[in-house]
């Protein structure tokens, strides 16, 4: 999403909504899987609650601020199971909250909130006689007792790319609802007559960060900045996503950010261009940029020398590893998404590497391709990963991901194996699909 605007010399923010977030999980419980979405790491207003399989596994609802009536409800008889994991996703985008089943792109619950707020945390719990076993994407398995008390986790967040043309005082606000609210983050670029920049929390002094930035802004051309917020770490870079870090500050109790505001003042007017992205689509790569002639060597346990080569736009290096087919050969690739490095399928005809995350299939035009080795594929059911399996990436929490493939609807589709979840997740036809029967890629 991109926005262009002008700000006059007037200390008043113009606010724009930020890209959506999402969580994907699988749950084994007889009834009452509850998920809370909040701005901070505890219950409080504002908050959404999603009850799946409530009322003795007969109905699912969305509730806001613990108040009745429910803002959305639907009959869902038998939606949960005490004997097997059932998969779900929850997404939020510009105030629209949707809940759906794994492998299905249409939600079964939907609520458009006229007064949306930022979601910084999600909590899970079970109750009303049920205990639960949870597998939450990118995180380690979790058990919840029969006790209606949420366990909270920080949500990964987002980023904004900013081009600003102003002689001084480009101010950016990050808030959890539209308009100046409390708490909020403020980033002031080129303040004090274009001499200093600061990060401020909730309009209070002393500033959290203050740095000298002489002549940072100019009214002759646009200067580019990247601002990311990831689990409370606010990072401001000059020059774009891979530029030098100008300022950085970690909030021990991060707020959910759902709006970005911009303004100029103190004698300056500004011309702005904003572009919102999911983290870390514009974040720095963990791995240095390489060319296929000098591949990155990744040494995993018993993996020998495995080379992942940077590629983009459907490009496949000459010695790439073929691993599947879907109307054309598919190659073993991986790409960064939401703080994770995820194995997936490179489909040259679509010019991307597809990875599975958050219930959906995501096409990445920048990716890495596995090259220069001759792996074999071993059938697996459940989570019994062979010791010579080749690591292909890692979750947001740092758990190793392996390369797997599944025979699905006449294709052989490559995806990610997360050992603690005992399944291979594949990206297919826009969705993320879990399979407990799959093949895993192993070294010679």
Verify that 117 and 175 share a domain, yes or no: no
Verify that 26 and 142 share a domain, yes or no: yes
Per the CB < 8 A criterion, the answer to whether 26 and 138 are in contact is: no
Q: Is residue 171 part of a domain?
A: yes
Verify that 212 and 344 share a domain, yes or no: no
Largest CA distance in the chain: 68
Verify that 76 and 184 share a domain, yes or no: no
Query: What φ, ψ does residue 349 adopt, rounded to 5°?
Result: -65, -20
Verify that 165 and 274 share a domain, yes or no: yes
User: What gap in Å lies between CA 100 and CA 118, rounded to an integer?
Assistant: 20
Which of 126, 154, 182 lies at the terminal end of a domain, its last residue?
A: 154
> Which three-class secondary structure state does DSSP give residue 374?
coil
Q: Is residue 352 part of a domain?
A: yes
Q: Is residue 34 part of a domain?
A: yes
Verify that 89 and 70 share a domain, yes or no: yes
Tell me the pLDDT of the chain (444 aa) as tens digits: 677 878 887 778 887 777 668 888 999 999 999 999 998 888 888 999 999 999 999 999 999 999 999 999 999 999 999 999 999 999 998 889 999 999 888 999 999 999 888 888 899 999 999 999 999 987 888 899 998 888 888 777 778 889 999 999 999 999 988 888 888 999 999 999 999 999 999 999 899 999 999 999 999 999 999 999 887 899 999 988 888 999 999 998 888 888 899 999 888 899 998 887 654 333 333 333 333 333 333 333 334 457 898 888 888 988 899 999 999 999 999 999 877 899 999 999 999 999 999 888 999 988 999 998 889 999 997 678 998 998 999 988 888 999 999 999 999 999 999 999 999 999 999 999 999 899 999 987
> Which three-class secondary structure state does DSSP give residue 57?
helix
Verify that 9 and 50 share a domain, yes or no: no
Verify that 41 and 119 share a domain, yes or no: yes
- Chain position carrying tokens 């401001």: 236
Q: How many CA atoms lie within 13 A of 395 on its CB side?
A: 20
Q: Is residue 286 part of a domain?
A: no
Verify that 300 and 433 share a domain, yes or no: yes
Q: Is residue 291 part of a domain?
A: no
Verify that 149 and 162 share a domain, yes or no: no
Q: Is residue 86 part of a domain?
A: yes
Tokens of 213: 């930035």
Which of 233, 252, 278 lies at the terminal end of a domain, its last residue?
A: 278
**Distance spanning both ends of the chain, measured CA to CA:** 45
Q: Is residue 283 part of a domain?
A: no
Which of 107, 124, 154 lies at the terminal end of a domain, its last residue?
A: 154
Other Cβ atoms within 10 Å of 207 Cβ, number? 18
Which residue range(s) make up the domain with 304?
A: 296-442
Q: Is residue 136 part of a domain?
A: yes
Per the CB < 8 A criterion, the answer to whether 406 and 340 are in contact is: no
Domain count, the chain: 3
Verify that 46 and 126 share a domain, yes or no: yes
Verify that 325 and 435 share a domain, yes or no: yes
């Amino acid at each position: 999403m991109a926005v262009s605007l002008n700000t006059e010399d007037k200390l008043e923010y113009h606010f724009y909504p930020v890209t959506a977030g999402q969580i994907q999980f699988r749950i084994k419980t007889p009834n009452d899987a509850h998920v809370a979405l909040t701005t901070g790491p505890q219950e409080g207003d504002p908050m959404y609650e999603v009850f799946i399989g409530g009322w003795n596994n007969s109905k699912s609802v969305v509730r806001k601020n613990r108040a009745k009536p429910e803002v959305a409800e639907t009959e869902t008889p038998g939606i949960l199971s005490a004997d097997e994991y059932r998969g779900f996703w929850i997404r939020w985008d510009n105030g629209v909250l949707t809940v759906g089943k794994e492998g299905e792109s249409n939600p079964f619950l939907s609520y458009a909130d006229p007064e949306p707020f930022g979601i910084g945390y999600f909590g899970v719990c079970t109750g009303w006689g049920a205990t639960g076993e949870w597998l939450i994407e990118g995180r380690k398995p979790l058990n919840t007792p029969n006790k209606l008390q949420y366990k909270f986790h920080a949500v990964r967040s987002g980023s904004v790319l900013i081009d600003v043309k102003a002689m001084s005082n480009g101010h950016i606000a990050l808030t959890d609802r539209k308009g100046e609210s409390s708490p909020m983050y403020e980033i002031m670029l080129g303040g004090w007559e274009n001499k200093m920049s600061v990060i401020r929390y909730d309009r209070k002094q002393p500033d959290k960060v203050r740095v000298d930035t002489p002549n940072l802004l100019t009214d002759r051309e646009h200067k580019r900045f990247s601002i990311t917020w990831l689990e409370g770490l606010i990072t401001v870079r000059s020059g774009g996503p891979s530029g030098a870090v100008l300022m950085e500050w970690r909030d021990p109790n991060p707020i959910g950010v759902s709006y970005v505001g911009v303004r100029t003042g103190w004698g300056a007017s500004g011309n702005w261009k904003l572009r919102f992205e999911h983290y870390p689509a514009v974040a720095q790569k963990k791995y240095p940029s390489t060319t296929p002639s000098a591949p990155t060597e990744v040494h995993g346990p018993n993996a020998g020398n495995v080379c992942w080569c940077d590629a983009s736009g459907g490009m496949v290096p000459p010695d790439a590893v073929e691993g599947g087919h879907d109307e054309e050969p598919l190659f073993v690739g991986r790409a960064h998404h939401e703080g994770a490095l995820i194995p997936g399928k490179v489909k040259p005809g679509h010019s991307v590497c597809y990875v599975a995350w958050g219930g959906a299939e995501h096409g990445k035009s920048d990716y890495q391709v596995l090259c220069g080795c001759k792996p074999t594929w071993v059938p697996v059911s459940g989570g019994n990963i062979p010791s010579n399996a080749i690591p292909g990436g890692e979750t947001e929490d740092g758990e190793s991901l392996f390369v797997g493939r599944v025979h699905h609807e006449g294709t052989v589709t490559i995806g990610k194996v997360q050992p603690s979840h005992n399944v291979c997740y594949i990206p297919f036809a826009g969705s993320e699909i879990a399979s407990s029967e799959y093949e895993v890629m192993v070294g010679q």
